[in-house]
């Protein structure tokens, strides 16, 4: 986190976990623990759709923000089971995860649908957390760089530099999600640099690329977060399993606070 203009982010993706009561308890534990604290990263909780309203109520007036795990790009219509951007805005949601590998793998999301959702999120003033990442087969065949560059370029088609400025990007190698395997911090940082280079090339604006927070996701734990935070181009984490336990999630926040206190201030 060498750029003091990029505020670090610790976002918890709860996936398909937590009833309303469980969501309330977890959100309350996080809110109470960070109350009155300084040097906090941006904290985002992403519960299931059924837990959104509960978590929004628990986090109201706190430094903790709320995001959705997915959305449709259309505003309304005969699309059974889908949730539209205006519905999220109506609830008070601020962030939305777009293009998570599980959505790509199990629900047929493509680079095109990621772009459509990204444009819709920006239109409705939601902050997108855009996920990219390669499979194990792609990594073993030395295709990581090509896959990541293609996913980034496709996601950002038809977006202006001003629109791109408001997004977050999460590098989530598919082979590290939920497997207990973690990408070496230096390698994750190398890919983050590639992401910035790809973004910069779209508009020939290195400063734009340097302003975008890039998160790492994939078996993030208190035992490995500090090494990731030491990297020049990683600005936090999109957390899965460790976000389901208040103690573990708060340990990630504490590690980020320590890093913030040691970081140079913006001149």
Give the orientation angle of helix 246-262 with respect to helix 20-34, to 10 degrees.
30
Which tokens is 191 given? 């890919």
Which tokens is 131 given? 């996920």
Per the CB < 8 A criterion, the answer to whether 237 and 243 are in contact is no
Q: Following DSSP, what letter does each residue of 226-251 receive, concatenated? A: HHHHTSTT--EEEESGGGGSHHHHHH
Catalytic residue among 58, 102, 134, 172: 172
Cα–Cα distance for residue pair 22/33, rounded to 1 Å = 17
**Which pairing describes strands 127-132 and 42-46: parallel, antiparallel, or unpaired?**
unpaired
Half-sphere exposure of 241 (CA within 13 A, CB side): 12
Cα–Cα distance for residue pair 250/34, rounded to 1 Å = 8
Whether 100 sits among the annotated catalytic residues: the reply is yes
Catalytic residue among 58, 100, 109, 248: 100
Whether 172 sits among the annotated catalytic residues: the reply is yes
Q: Which residues form the catalytic set?
A: 100, 172
């Amino acid at each position: 986190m060498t750029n003091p203009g990029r505020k670090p982010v610790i976002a918890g993706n709860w996936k398909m976990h937590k009833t309303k009561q469980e969501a309330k308890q977890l959100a309350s534990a996080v809110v109470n623990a960070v109350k009155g604290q300084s040097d906090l990263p941006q904290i985002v909780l992403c519960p299931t759709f059924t837990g959104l309203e509960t978590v929004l109520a628990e986090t109201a007036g706190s430094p903790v923000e709320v995001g959705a795990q997915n959305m449709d790009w259309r505003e309304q219509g005969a699309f059974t089971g889908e949730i539209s951007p205006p519905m999220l805005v109506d609830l008070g949601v601020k962030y939305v995860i777009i293009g998570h590998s599980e959505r790509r793998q199990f629900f047929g999301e493509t680079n095109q649908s990621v772009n459509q959702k990204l444009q819709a999120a920006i239109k409705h003033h939601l902050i997108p957390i855009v996920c990219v990442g390669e499979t194990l087969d792609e990594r073993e065949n030395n295709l990581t760089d090509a896959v990541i560059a293609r996913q980034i370029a496709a996601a950002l088609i038809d977006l202006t530099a001003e629109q791109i400025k408001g997004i977050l990007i999460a590098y989530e190698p598919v082979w590290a999600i939920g497997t207990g395997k973690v990408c070496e911090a230096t390698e994750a940082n190398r890919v983050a640099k590639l992401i910035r280079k790809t973004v910069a090339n779209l508009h020939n604006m290195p400063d734009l690329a340097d302003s975008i927070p890039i998160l790492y996701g994939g078996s993030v734990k208190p035992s490995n977060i500090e090494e990731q935070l030491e990297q020049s181009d990683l600005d936090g984490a999109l957390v899965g399993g460790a976000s389901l336990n208040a103690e573990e999630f708060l340990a990630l926040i504490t590690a980020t606070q320590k890093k913030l206190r040691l970081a140079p201030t913006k001149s």
